[in-house]
Structure 1
Amino acid sequence: MEKALEKQMDEAFRLPGVSGIICVDNNGLCLGAKGVIPGQCNGSICALAVQASKLSPSPMHLVLSFALSQSMGKSVLIKKTDQLTTAIFKSS
């Protein structure tokens, strides 16, 4: 799984505007990270995804999008699956 996860992270990191990517398990443990990631964010990312999935009738298709700093053009996209939560940090 580690090689497959690393490959997927590499592919996502190459997309235009992506400044960082982190994958965490259901306990908030970091399984992999690339690029610029805010410190100590893994638990928060997991908690946000869990809470948001309670609001959706179809949590497997839920993607969260947050503007971190509109003036600086930074945002984060968060996607949760059964075993993994992924956050992609973007800057314009």
Structure 2
Amino acid sequence: MEGAHSTGVSGVLCADHKGLCLGVRGKASNASSGTVAALAERVAMLEPGSLDPVILLESDNSQCLIHRNSGITLAVYKSPETS
């Protein structure tokens, strides 16, 4: 996570296709790995045959970007950009 703070990244989570946490850094929680992997799988079912989408979950004080590729799901937690 060195250098990530300048881009607003506060945490990163990596999970396998079954939701097993492969790694976590920063404010991300390994307890959410199953939920993150399941969400990526379900959203990909919306358009079968297309590339896996990038999912953006956003609240007033944080963002979570989720992407699955080759059975590995990555979640990046960020603080929103300030102008």
What is the TM-score of this pair, normalised by structure 2? 0.82
| Structure 1 segments of 4+ aligned residues over 4 angstroms from their partners | none
Structure with more helix by fraction: 1
Residue number in structure 2 paired with 1:45: 36
Q: Where in structure 2 are the equivalents of 1:51-70 lying within 5 Å? A: 51-56=42-47, 57-60=49-52, 62-67=53-58, 69-70=59-60
Structure 2: runs of 5+ lacking an equivalent: none
Match of 1:6 in 2: none
Which shifted more, 39-48 or 17-26? 39-48
Identical residues among aligned pairs (%): 35
- RMSD after superposition: 1.9
* 1:31 matches 2:22: yes
Structure 1 unmatched ranges of 5 or more: 1-9
2:76 is matched with which residue? 88
Letter of the structure 2 residue corresponding to residue 80 of structure 1: R
